[in-house]
Amino acid sequence: MRNGLAGIVAGLVLLGGTASRCPAACAIETTAERIGGFETRSTAVEQAVPMIKRGEYSLALLRLNTEAQESSVPRQARIIGAYAVLVAGEKLGAF
């Protein structure tokens, strides 16, 4: 758990100037897109956020996985990282 939280914090720090120009929700979505290797303004990320807000965590993770073109272990790890950032953002009140 500790390493996961460190990864989330590191991802938010890596945003640099983006976090200061965006509201919290935008910064969290941008971080999730970068960590997950998604394109900017990813449809999967945008669709996963309301699912997470409704408590549909499994559906949100499934939605993120459907956009991935490859199923390698590193790619899956990146998707889980993006998912963790979105869930943490929701729990912290960003959405």
Structure confidence at residue 58 (pLDDT):
92
User: What ranges do the domains of the chain cover?
Assistant: 2-91
Residue pair 89/28 in contact (Cβ under 8 Å)? The answer is yes
Query: Model confidence over 39-82: pLDDT tens digits?
Result: 777 888 899 999 999 999 999 999 998 876 667 778 888 888 99
Query: Model confidence over 4-40: pLDDT tens digits?
Result: 555 555 555 444 444 455 678 888 888 888 888 887 7
Q: 2 or 39: which carries more pLDDT confidence?
A: 39
Structure confidence at residue 52 (pLDDT):
92
